[in-house]
């Protein structure tokens, strides 16, 4: 994957420091570290012989903070450009499909959850029509039922009752 | 010849009709998913983990090993026939394998890859059998500080040997460490990073996390690319000619040696083994200009190496309980689900499991040859199924997989969240693989760190007083210094660019 994207990345070199991976990675790291440190602040460090629950989070958080700073400093002379091309449609629909599955499974059962997920996530790829999605949903739910419920006997709600 | 006795014992256990069936099914399903572009071994194993839940542990492990090799080998088929790497370790196979296919030698390339892998797998099986006992013996002398040192060394080496920026990889490991601490702290009973959510009190589901990062993230980025209908090269004769066989044989031997060695290293495994073998073949070849244009050695060596490496990377897991790469981390999680704790005690307490698994690795390799060569037309057909149907099936399997570990829809949500993370991380130049290692090792690192300080009554000197631990920490430090020195860093970057 990275080898395919390499030419596109190198084409974007020289866009200025704002488009650098190091900058964004640095910001993300610092945000993550700061929230981890904030949340774990009252976990307790313990004594030297009996370290508390907050000890390792503190060490990891501080190291992350330092490394995030290093990434920011480096961003000025870094040559790697960030890939700002975010595929919103697949991202939202795929995630939406999974969330649909999670919300429906306990309430409506496996069969309904699968068909709904397929209909929500289906438009992420071009060429899927509502009819082809309904068909895919029915086939996938029949297959999943026979494999996981009938054959492997995994406990999973099949219907809403 | 105690070794042969133990192997024979393993084979006796592994060769039951039931286990053979599961080994076959594992290799078959693994190949099936591996052939599909865009799903690597981590996502494949995570997705198919629930299939093994209801099996007895030996059968489950045998099936998982089959899945792993199948996924690994399936990727090579796609690389050779369509020039799409099914997973990262078959990137190099694309170069010469696909070039051979374009010249009408697709069958020969596939056969060399399959037979080379089988040979490498056989040798690696023996290597595991030979070296496990001494490794277990060494490991049994380890105490908490030594384990702590070993894990730090493992993480550092994994970062140094992995692709991409070292600083960002360390960041990923540390982020993984924090995520791995989520849940109730075993020693103090305190909840950490749970936000009051009861489902988080036992930690983030590792399978959901791995599937989100590797499976869902991959699906999203595949959908972002426009897929044309893949151009599949036709397969004619499956047999290499005399000249090809003559050139492939020594390359397979070299690849096996390099792969076996690189597989044992932390951070090693199939990926680095195949890259390493390719670079060395090209350097030592009398005909370097042929590489990239269908050099037989360029298929034979990396394919042998990645299979050997895939297999020897089980050594640290089975003997030390230390997963050296993302796939092994998942294997560790899978074993834990089945109530098996890998480590020095496994071989002593569950010799049946240990030797049956080693025997099944060889059987799995044999199955691959049997499955792949005659069924090649089936895989070609599979490559023609449009991605717009495939990804829906992948998503549904991921959802069911994430749910069934703990029967929890919360875990499905966790998978969705890490799917977003897995899609965005590569955009800012971060690889998710080191993160996975951090997550799985976090509780172990903390526990051994804690115990060491309890033993030493709070003195940090204990980490330097124990020679084993001091040695590991020293080597880790040297590794870090080495990558931070500009000259060596350049050499490393060049090695990965190949």
Domain that holds residue A139: 88-151
- B 210-249 → A contacts, CB under 8 A: 216, 219-221, 223-224, 226
Which one-letter DSSP state was computed for residue B466?
S
Inter-chain Cβ pairs, chain A and chain B, closer than 8 A:
200
pLDDT band at B496 (very low <50, low <70, confident <90, very high): low
Every domain of chain B and the residues it spans = 2-497
B201 reaches A (C-beta below 8 A): no
Return the SS3 of A103: helix
Residues A50, A99 within the same domain = no
Selected residue of A42, A148, A149, A158 to mutate for chain B interface (largest B Cβ count, 10 A): A148
Return the SS3 of A156: coil
A57 and B178: CB-CB below 8 Å?
Answer: yes
B54 and A21: CB-CB below 8 Å?
Answer: no
Considering only CA atoms, give the Rg of chain B: 22
In the predicted model, residues of chain A with pLDDT beneath 70 are 1-18
A87 and B221: CB-CB below 8 Å?
Answer: yes
- Residue-level pLDDT at B491: 56
In B285-325, alpha helices (H)? 297-312, 314-320
pLDDT band at B488 (very low <50, low <70, confident <90, very high): low
CB B407 within 8 A of CB A129: no
pLDDT in tens, B18-39: 888 888 888 888 888 888 776 7
**Candidates B409, B445, B453; nearest CB to A105:** B409
Above pLDDT 70, what percent of chain A?
88
- Residue-level pLDDT at B279: 83
- Residue-level pLDDT at B412: 95
Which uninterrupted H or E stretch holds B149?
helix B144-161
- Residue-level pLDDT at B415: 95
- Residue-level pLDDT at B282: 83
Closest chain B CA to residue A32: B175
Tell me which residue has tokens 């024979």: B8
Residue that is last in its domain, among A75, A108, A137? A75
- The mean pLDDT of B401-425, rounded to a whole number, is 92
Residues A7, A56 within the same domain = yes
Among the residue ranges A142-151, B61-70, B108-117, B369-378, the one predicted with the least confidence is: B369-378
pLDDT in tens, B302-322: 889 988 988 898 888 888 888
- The mean pLDDT of B1-28, rounded to a whole number, is 84
B398 reaches A (C-beta below 8 A): yes
A25 and B453: CB-CB below 8 Å?
Answer: no
Is position A160 within any domain? no
Q: Which residues of A touch B407 (CB under 8 A)?
A: 155-156
A124 reaches B (C-beta below 8 A): yes
Residues A105, A70 within the same domain = no
- The mean pLDDT of B395-421, rounded to a whole number, is 92
CB B362 within 8 A of CB B16: no
- B 47-76 → A contacts, CB under 8 A: 50-51, 53-54
Residues A8, A62 within the same domain = yes
Distance from CA of B13 to the nearest CA of A (A): 23
Q: For the stretch B394-421, what's the b/e string if a residue is b when 16 or more beta carbons lie within 10 angstroms of its beta carbon? A: bbbbbbbbbbbbeebbbbbbbbbbbbbb
Phi, psi of B430 (to 5 degrees): -110, 135
The sign one gets for the Cα dihedral B463, B464, B466, B468 is positive
A32 and B185: CB-CB below 8 Å?
Answer: no
A95 and B454: CB-CB below 8 Å?
Answer: no
A73 reaches B (C-beta below 8 A): no
Residues A65, A92 within the same domain = no
Average pLDDT, chain B: 84
Look up the ipTM and state it: 0.87
Domains of chain A: total:
2
pLDDT in tens, B209-243: 988 998 898 889 888 876 566 677 777 777 788 88
Tallying the residues shown for chain B, one arrives at 498
- Residue-level pLDDT at B489: 56
Distance from CA of A147 to the nearest CA of B (A): 9
B418 reaches A (C-beta below 8 A): no
Q: Which residues of B touch A29 (CB under 8 A)?
A: 171, 175
Closest chain B CA to residue A118: B392
- Closest to B336 in 3D by CA, of B474, B206, B148: B206
Q: Which residues of A touch B450 (CB under 8 A)?
A: 50-51
Residues A41, A98 within the same domain = no
Is position A83 within any domain? no
Residues A62, A105 within the same domain = no
pLDDT in tens, B376-405: 888 888 877 888 888 899 899 899 989 988
Residues A94, A71 within the same domain = no
- Closest to B189 in 3D by CA, of A60, A36, A43: A43
CB B76 within 8 A of CB B90: yes
- The mean pLDDT of B9-17, rounded to a whole number, is 85
The sign one gets for the Cα dihedral B450, B455, B458, B463 is negative
């Amino acid at each position: 994957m990275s080898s395919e994207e390499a030419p596109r990345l190198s084409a974007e070199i020289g866009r200025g420091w704002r488009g650098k991976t190091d900058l964004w990675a640095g910001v993300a790291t610092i945000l993550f570290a700061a929230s981890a440190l904030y949340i774990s602040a009252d976990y307790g460090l313990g004594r030297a012989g009996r370290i508390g629950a907050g000890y390792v989070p503190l060490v990891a958080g501080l190291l992350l903070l330092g490394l995030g700073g290093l990434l920011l400093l480096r961003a000025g002379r870094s040559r790697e450009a960030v890939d700002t091309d975010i595929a919103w449609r697949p991202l939202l629909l795929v995630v939406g499909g999974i969330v649909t599955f999670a919300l429906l499974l306990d309430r409506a059962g496996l069969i309904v959850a699968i068909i709904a997920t397929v209909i929500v996530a289906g438009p992420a790829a071009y060429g899927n029509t509502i009819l082809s999605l309904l068909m895919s949903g029915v086939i996938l739910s029949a297959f999943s039922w026979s494999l996981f419920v009938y054959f492997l006997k995994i406990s999973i709600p099949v219907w809403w009752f | 010849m105690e070794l042969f006795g133990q192997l024979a014992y393993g084979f006796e256990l592994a060769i039951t009709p039931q286990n053979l069936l599961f080994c076959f099914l594992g290799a078959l399903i693994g190949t099936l998913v591996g052939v599909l572009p865009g799903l690597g071994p981590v996502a494949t194993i995570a997705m198919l983990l629930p299939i093994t839940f209801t099996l007895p542990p030996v059968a489950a492990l045998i099936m998982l090993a089959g899945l792993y090799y199948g996924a690994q080998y399936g990727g090579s088929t796609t690389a050779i026939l369509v020039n799409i790497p099914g997973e990262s370790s078959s990137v190099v196979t694309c170069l010469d394998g696909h070039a051979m296919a374009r010249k009408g030698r697709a069958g020969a390339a596939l056969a060399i890859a399959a037979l080379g892998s089988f040979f490498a797998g056989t040798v690696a099986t023996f290597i595991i059998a030979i070296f496990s006992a001494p490794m277990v013996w060494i490991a049994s002398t380890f105490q908490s500080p030594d384990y702590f040192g070993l894990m730090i060394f493992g993480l550092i080496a994994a970062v140094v040997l992995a692709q991409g920026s070292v600083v960002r990889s360390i960041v990923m490991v540390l982020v993984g460490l924090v995520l791995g601490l989520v849940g109730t702290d075993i020693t103090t009973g305190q909840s950490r990073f749970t936000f009051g959510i009861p489902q988080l009190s036992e930690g983030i589901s590792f399978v959901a996390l791995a599937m989100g990062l590797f499976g869902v993230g991959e699906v999203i980025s595949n959908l972002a690319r426009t897929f044309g209908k893949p151009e599949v090269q036709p397969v004619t004769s499956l047999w290499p000619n005399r000249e090809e066989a003559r050139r492939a044989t020594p390359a397979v031997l070299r690849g096996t040696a390099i792969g076996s060695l690189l597989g044992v290293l932390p951070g090693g495994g199939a990926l680095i083994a195949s890259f390493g073998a390719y670079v060395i073949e090209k350097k030592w070849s009398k005909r370097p200009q042929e590489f990239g244009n269908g050099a037989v050695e360029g298929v034979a060596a990396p394919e042998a190496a990645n299979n050997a490496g895939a297999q020897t990377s089980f050594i640290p897991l089975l003997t030390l309980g230390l997963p050296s790469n993302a796939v092994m981390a998942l294997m560790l999680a899978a074993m834990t689900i089945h109530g098996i704790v890998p480590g020095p005690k496994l071989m002593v307490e569950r010799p049946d499991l240990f030797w049956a698994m080693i025997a099944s690795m060889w059987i799995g390799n044999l199955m691959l040859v049997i499955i792949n060569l005659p069924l090649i037309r089936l895989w070609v057909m599979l490559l023609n199924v449009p991605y717009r149907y495939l990804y829906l099936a992948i998503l549904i399997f991921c959802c069911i997989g994430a749910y069934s570990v703990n029967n929890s829809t919360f875990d499905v949500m966790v998978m969705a969240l890490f799917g977003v993370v897995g899609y965005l991380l590569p955009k800012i130049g971060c690889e998710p693989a080191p993160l996975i290692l951090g997550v799985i090792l976090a509780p172990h690192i903390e526990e051994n760190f804690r115990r060491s300080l309890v033993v030493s009554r709070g003195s940090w000197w204990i980490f330097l007083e124990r020679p084993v631990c001091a040695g590991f920490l020293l080597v880790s430090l040297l590794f870090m210094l080495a990558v931070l020195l500009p000259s060596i860093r350049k050499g490393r970057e060049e090695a990965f660019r190949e």
